[in-house]
Structure 1
Amino acid sequence: MLAAIIMLFAAVLPAALATPALPSSALASQAVRSALAPTVVGAKASNTAAAARAQGVNRAATSALPRSTGRSVVVHSTAYNSTPGQTDSSPYITATGTRVRSGVVALSRDLLGRFPYGTRITIEDLSGRYSNLLRGRVFVVEDTMHPRIGNTVDVWMGSLGEAMAWGARTVRITALQ
């Protein structure tokens, strides 16, 4: 019986571990060249990648962040990352069942009444240590903190170093429409 199981694994394992077939380098090079090739529009040539980038910049400049709903509160802010010492036994899963990622925040349970799960918020640093992480960013409330912690927002970071660099600061969170 054991020999049959070993033979089965020996037959199935190489196929399961095989990497997917990738396109040839010539095909990939051709795709890049065609994507970056200039196209003729009227009498002038324009680079499609540059044109797409310019359209994206124009769209971003004309569309402002969503308006605030008026729900705003000054809170203590900390940062966390996905280590069992800073989370529960499932460090990569939020309280709402989603995976942690950049832009996810955890709120203390006393703030969940004002900012329920799924609320999109902005964070304004009031501590005097401005962070580029906050500029123009919208965060989503998808996690919660231990019941003993109050009046706090915890911002998810990808590494322990980023979380330590964030430290503790005072911020204003504002809900968006």
Structure 2
Amino acid sequence: MRRFLVTALAALAVQGQAATYSLQRVSHYNAVRAQTDRTPQISACGPTQRGQIALSRDLLRKVGCGARVRVTVNGRSHVYVVNDTMHPRYRRTADILVSRTSTARKLGVSKGTLTVLRKGTPYQG
């Protein structure tokens, strides 16, 4: 019993250290010129990759490039790698890369939470 309590308390302590941010907007995008810039294959933190997420600059400065984050929307969570940024007008916003325009439209726009699992390198932009 004591061993269980120690393990449970340790798990809670680790969870308490993870930074969590409320997201005013979680949307989805495709790596195409119409939705990015003239170089959709290059993201702010390196080459565009599967499973990446773009964050508003206020959040990107806090978590950094290459950070692993968990995004929860409507009770469902997924883990992503922070690899891109968004237009400066956005605040507390995440944009998740998907492969098809139809998927982006189907998933739509929601509110959610972002939990930092591992911090990345500082963003200089």
TM over 0.5: yes
- The one of the two structures with greater contact order (alpha-carbon pairs below 8 A, sep at least 6) is 2
Q: Do the aligned partners of 1:124 and 1:171 also contact (CA within 8 Å) in 2?
A: yes
The percent of aligned pairs where both chains have the same amino acid is: 34
Q: 2:105 is paired with a residue of what secondary structure?
A: helix
2:44 equivalent among 49, 73, 95: 95
Report the aligned-residue RMSD: 1.6
Runs of 4+ residues deviating >6 angstroms: none
Mapped partners of 1:149, 1:87: distance in 2: 14
The equivalent of 1:31 in structure 2 is none
TM-score (norm 1): 0.54
The equivalent of 2:100 in structure 1 is 159
Gaps of 5+ in 2: 1-13, 119-125
Gaps of 5+ in 1: 1-66
Quick check: which one's strand share is greater? Answer: 2
TM-score (norm 2): 0.75
Q: Do the aligned partners of 1:80 and 1:155 also contact (CA within 8 Å) in 2?
A: yes
**Cα offset, 1:91, TM superposition:** 1.0
1:144 equivalent among 85, 91, 97: 85
Quick check: which one's helix share is greater? Answer: 1
Bigger-Rg structure (1/2): 1
The amino acid across from 2:20 in the alignment is S
Q: Do the aligned partners of 2:48 and 2:83 also contact (CA within 8 Å) in 1?
A: no
